[in-house]
Amino acid sequence: MDTVFRDVRVIDGSGGPSYRADVALADGRIAALHRASDAGPRPSAARTVDAAGLALAPGFIDMHAHSDLALLRDPEHSAKAAQGVTLEVLGQDGLSYAPVDDRTLAEVRRAITGWNGDGADIDFSWRTVGGYLDALDTAHGGRGIAVNAAYLVPQGTVRMYAVGWDDRTPSPAELDAMRQLVAEGLAQGAVGMSSGLTYTPGMYAENAELTALCRVVAAYDGYYCPHHRSYGAGALAAYEEMVELTRNAGCALHLAHATMNFGVNKGRAAELLALLDAALAGGADISLDTYPYTPGSTTLVAMLPSWANEGGPEATLTRLRDAGTAERIRHHVEEVGSDGCHGVPIEWDTIEVSGVSDPGLGSYVGRTVARSAALRGEAPWVTARRLLIDDRLGSTILQHVGHEENVRAIMRHPVHTGGSDGILQGTKPHPRAYGTFPRYLGHYARDLGVLSLEETVAHLTSRPAARLRLPDRGLVREGYRADLVLFDPQTVAAGSTFDAPRALPVGIPHVLIDGRFVIEDGRRTDVLAGRTIRRTPGRRR
């Protein structure tokens, strides 16, 4: 044996009662579980860790991550490693960096600068999904990455590649090209497909187009992960649309950051859960993820109506610079309720700037648009328009529109999993990027009792592993991979706050990937044990 954790409280990920045991590791796997009640000798190893007072759980799986470039950029990646995250699912919200050609790569880099930076420090040598996954596996001088990673084919990028930025129905040839790109990505190891249906150009896809692509996903036994068309005025209809679409396509569905936001949805989580329960009872394969906070986070440009973003970022800037067109945009944003803002008229006092691409614009960060406008003695739209233009659409925001009762109700649902939706860019990012998983364990399980600790761990481990169809992860079982986290149930907590969003968690002394310590005694080691998790089932039908 390589390592044995002595007298640890095992929370095995099943949701069942925890128990005391010695847990021994060998060759990157769990080699022996010796319960306190078991007869016979206790396992010994080259290294023994006294784990009394600690809980041992499977490594946490972040079902909604935006670390697509961060894993290549930052070998430590403590934002996730220190939380006990051992696997992230990338390619979210329909926008990422593969598959691309040269034009599409330049466009997508520009479109999601607010999420990941412009990538000037990245060697974009790949063009395919397989090439991107290879780049992760050989990152940092061939040593690999900080945590494991899986990838979703991004439908918005695929549409950008095959159709461009036009709001129109694709030709038969273009639809065939999109089908082929999705199939190739899945064949090369992607676990499914994502969409961002309030982000251009993916939001221009009608249901027939999405259904055709989801049939390809189903053929490869993957799942569809939509950021659907509304989390505001049309939220329930948007959820229902995704349930029906995937039913028609015969495709598994995983709902991204499944929240019920804005004033129109206060207290309405039960309606969403009833919709899901009815679909599950009818045989649907559905799961969802949430983050344990009320504010959301995205880019400021995402608030604009879809027609204002047609044609890509430069076309958007041209419209914003034109006074007449900018007034039309303002009317839709402030009075009608744009599709970018989920059909709800924007409230500028809920929009806090969290990051800018141009450091010279740092005075906006940490203030709401309404506050910055008041300091300037101007209308909020004037301030927002200036920031969009001056920062070339690169600004990120926090959107304070959530409801605590909805957050708690949804996290209790049996198909719920954890996803940080963590954007790591910006001076003042959302604290969920650094705090999601310890916040579940400490604030919601221990302090509030929303879920038991055992059930909470199941939501963060075995349930996402089942969605990803990982046969040897997500549970503490003999023969399973030794992707593990040890934490103190009495002290575990998110260190990150809205004022100090990059503070690391407390109460998580050890994190292992393949039996190697990536966090040891609360400190990041130099181990890079992360690799890509690729689905290779071949076509199902």
Judged against a pLDDT cut of 80, whether residue 536 lies above it is answered with: no
Give the residue-averaged pLDDT of 501-524: 98
Q: How far apart are CA 57 and CA 76, in angstroms?
A: 22
Q: Which tens digit of pLDDT belongs to each residue from 294-345? A: 999 999 999 999 999 999 999 999 999 999 999 999 999 999 999 999 999 9
Q: Which tens digit of pLDDT belongs to each residue from 268-306? A: 999 999 999 999 999 999 999 999 999 999 999 999 999
DSSP assignment, residue 233? T
Decide: pTM greater than 0.85.
Answer: yes
pLDDT range class, residue 535, cuts 50, 70, 90: confident
Judged against a pLDDT cut of 60, whether residue 539 lies above it is answered with: no
DSSP assignment, residue 168? S
Q: How far apart are CA 234 and CA 271, in angstroms?
A: 13
Q: How far apart are CA 13 and CA 61, in angstroms?
A: 12
Judged against a pLDDT cut of 50, whether residue 540 lies above it is answered with: no
Q: Which tens digit of pLDDT belongs to each residue from 231-251? A: 999 999 999 999 999 999 999
pLDDT range class, residue 541, cuts 50, 70, 90: very low
Judged against a pLDDT cut of 80, whether residue 200 lies above it is answered with: yes
**The predicted structure's pLDDT at residue 426:** 87
Q: How far apart are CA 352 and CA 10, in angstroms?
A: 41
Average pLDDT of the chain?
96
DSSP assignment, residue 444? I
**The predicted structure's pLDDT at residue 537:** 57
Show the DSSP H helices in 220-344 as ranges. Answer: 235-249, 269-281, 306-309, 313-321, 323-331
Share of the chain above pLDDT 70, in %: 99
Please report which helix (H) or strand (E) contains residue 226, including its range: strand 223-227
Do residues 425 and 117 make contact, with C-beta atoms less than 8 angstroms apart? yes
Q: Which tens digit of pLDDT belongs to each residue from 379-406? A: 999 999 999 999 999 999 999 999 999 9
Give the residue-averaged pLDDT of 510-515: 98
Do residues 320 and 329 make contact, with C-beta atoms less than 8 angstroms apart? yes
- Give me the residue spans of the domains in the chain: 299-399
What DSSP letter does each residue of 496-513 carry, written as one string?
A: --SSSTTPPPBS--EEEE
Residue type, 184: E
Torsion angle in degrees (nearest 10) through CA of 239, 240, 245, 250: 100
Intra-chain end-to-end CA distance of the chain, in Å = 43
Share of the chain above pLDDT 90, in %: 97
